[in-house]
């Protein structure tokens, strides 16, 4: 049973890595203004070689509908009728039977909508028989995301030529928002070992905060949180690159935290040339020994509440990307007691101002953690955010605001 769980986790991590690398290749091509043909070549490679689809049609609407990609399908595509056949599909749909001979050639229909209007449709087929697969096993939500990114990027090129700047900016933000959704873990565990929950409010359409939970096996886990300076699509791309580097290094069975931090610093320095930096906290928890190792790279000090005492986790190094080389990396080590509560957060929480321009501050957050730590972590996070709402009153959130809470049993 344990071996099966480990194999499942390894498969999930491998899939996540493939998804991140695919995103990075696409978004890098977009950021460097590669041609439409090059974007479609990258998209074709992802579909065929990484996701294993044998047949694909990619229909895209600009002034009129066009079939911009056809893989493994040699029949004729009737663009006069097909968009009308597809217009009723608003969500990812498995094809069971259809009056359209063309649709019966495929397993799934993936709509790409912009402001509730169809921008593209992707039809895919994989292996044999539509009943052997479902939406999740075919990775269709991920395929919908990258289809959205490609469709919007292609349309942006047309809009740029027409000088429609604001609409192009809006679509770039949409691309970044779709990208950012994939940075956060889809599920966080609540079991006999731990209770993990997170809550995040971006200040704008896209934000610069990131948190992650990465199982390394049946007993070891990585918990981390980060905040990049600056916002926008460049910040989202930097965070995607950052997360991919973390997961790549964690493939080594005997990694050490200082080595990981050095590699991450090199990546940030190379990617930003000193124009941005990332504050970062990472912890390695062993559920069998209850040992926690951590490094704080210039991030807000996480709060550990155990045995009715507060410990601020501050041991570590400077922020990543500030210096070409990290001069010193210290690793903090702790033994966690039963029901110890660890709260990671970004500065949007403690620096939130009320109508008198007073900040929420760490001390107030600590008091709420003491008061609510006996609850499950989702309830505690919700209560803390309700206190933030009361605190700010009519003020807006000035920064991205994230909290990532863990209780260890």
* Domain ranges, ordered by start, for the chain: 2-179, 185-408
- pLDDT, tens only, 224-270: 999 988 766 677 677 777 887 887 778 765 678 999 999 899 988 88
| Surface-to-core class of residue 173, CB atoms within 10 Å of its CB (0-12 exposed, 13-18 middle, 19+ buried) | middle
Q: Please tell me the distance from the alpha carbon of residue 155 to that of residue 168, in angstroms, as a whole number.
A: 8
In this structure, the dihedral spanned by the alpha carbons of residues 166, 170, 172 and 174, taken in order and rounded to 10 degrees, is: -170
For residue 121, give the 3-state DSSP assignment: strand
Task: Return the CATH class of domain 185-408.
Answer: alpha beta
2-179 fold? Beta-Lactamase (3.30.450)
Q: How far is CA 221 from CA 35, 188, 264, 384, in A?
A: 41, 12, 19, 25
- 262 phi and psi, to 5 degrees? -65, -45
Are 353 and 392 within 8 A, CB to CB?
yes
Is residue 405's pLDDT more than 70?
A: yes
pLDDT tens for residues 290-341?
999 999 999 999 999 999 999 999 999 999 999 999 989 999 999 999 999 9
pLDDT in tens, 70-109: 999 888 888 877 777 788 888 899 888 778 888 888 889 9
Helix (H) or strand (E) holding 22: helix 2-31
- Structure confidence by residue, pLDDT tens digits, 161-219: 665 555 665 666 666 666 666 667 878 988 999 999 999 887 665 666 889 999 988 89
243 or 281: which carries more pLDDT confidence? Answer: 281
Mean pLDDT of the chain: 84
Lowest mean pLDDT among 10-24, 135-149, 367-381: 10-24
DSSP class of residue 51 equals S
154's tokens = 């292609």
Beta bridge partners of 278: 228, 320
pLDDT recorded at residue 3: 55
**Residue 156 confidence (pLDDT) above 80:** no
Q: Are 368 and 409 in contact (CB under 8 A)?
A: no
Whether residue 128 has pLDDT greater than 60: no
Rounded Cα gap, residues 217 and 222, in angstroms? 10
With H, G, I as helix, E, B as strand and everything else as coil, classify residue 154: helix
- Euclidean distance between CA atoms 264 and 249, whole angstroms: 9
Mean pLDDT value across residues 8-34? 71
Convert the pLDDT of each residue in 335-389 to its tens digit.
999 999 999 999 899 999 999 999 999 999 999 999 999 999 999 999 999 999 9
State how beta strands 65-71 and 55-61 pair.
antiparallel
Spatial separation of the C-alpha atoms in residues 97 and 105, rounded to whole Å: 10
Q: Which residue has the tokens 């990131």?
A: 210
- pTM for the complete prediction? 0.65
Closest CA to 278 of 325, 324, 331, 230: 230
pLDDT of 5 above 60: no
Q: How far is CA 19 from CA 55, 63, 135, 139, 394, in A?
A: 20, 31, 16, 10, 40
Question: In which residue are the tokens 């970044």 written?
Answer: 176
Longest dimension (CA), the chain: 71
* Adjacent-strand bridge partners of 252: none
User: What is residue 130's predicted lDDT score, i.e. its pLDDT?
Assistant: 46
């Amino acid at each position: 049973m344990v071996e099966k769980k480990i194999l499942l986790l390894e498969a999930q991590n491998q899939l996540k890595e493939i998804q991140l690398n695919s995103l990075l290749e696409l978004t890098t091509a977009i950021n460097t203004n590669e041609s439409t043909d090059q974007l479609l070549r990258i998209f074709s490679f992802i579909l065929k070689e990484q996701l294993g689809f044998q047949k694909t049609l990619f229909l895209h609407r600009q002034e009129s509908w066009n079939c911009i990609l056809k893989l493994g399908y040699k029949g004729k595509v009737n663009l006069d009728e097909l968009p009308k056949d597809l217009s009723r599909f608003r969500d990812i749909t498995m094809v069971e039977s259809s009056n359209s001979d063309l649709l019966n050639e495929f397993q799934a229909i993936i709509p790409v909508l912009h402001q509730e209007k169809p921008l593209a449709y992707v039809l895919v087929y994989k292996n044999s028989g539509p009943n052997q697969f479902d939406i999740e096993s075919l990775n269709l939500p991920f395929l919908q995301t990258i289809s959205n990114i490609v469709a919007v990027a292609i349309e942006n090129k047309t809009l740029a030529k027409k000088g429609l700047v604001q609409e192009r900016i809006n679509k770039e933000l949409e691309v970044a928002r779709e990208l950012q959704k994939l940075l956060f873990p889809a599920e966080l565990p609540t079991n006999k070992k731990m209770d993990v929950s997170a809550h995040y409010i971006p200040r704008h359409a896209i934000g610069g905060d990131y948190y992650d939970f990465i199982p390394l096996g049946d007993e070891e886990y990585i918990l981390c949180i980060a905040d990049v300076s600056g916002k926008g699509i460049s910040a989202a791309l930097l965070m995607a690159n950052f997360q991919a580097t973390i997961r790549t290094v964690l493939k080594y069975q005997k990694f050490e935290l200082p080595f990981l931090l050095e590699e991450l610093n090199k990546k940030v320095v190379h990617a930003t040339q000193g124009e941005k930096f990332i504050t970062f906290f990472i912890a390695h928890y062993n559920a069998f020994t209850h040992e926690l190792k951590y490094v704080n790279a210039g991030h807000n000090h996480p709060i550990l509440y155990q045995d009715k005492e507060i410990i601020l986790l501050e041991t570590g190094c400077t922020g990543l990307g500030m210096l070409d080389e990290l001069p010193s990396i210290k690793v903090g080590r702790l033994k966690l007691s039963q029901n110890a509560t660890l709260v990671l957060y970004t500065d949007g929480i403690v620096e939130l101002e009320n109508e008198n321009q007073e900040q929420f501050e760490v001390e107030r957050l600590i008091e709420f953690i003491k008061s609510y730590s006996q609850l499950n972590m989702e309830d505690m996070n919700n209560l803390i955010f309700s206190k933030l709402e009361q605190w700010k009153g009519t003020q807006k959130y000035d920064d991205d605001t994230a909290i990532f809470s863990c209780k260890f049993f």
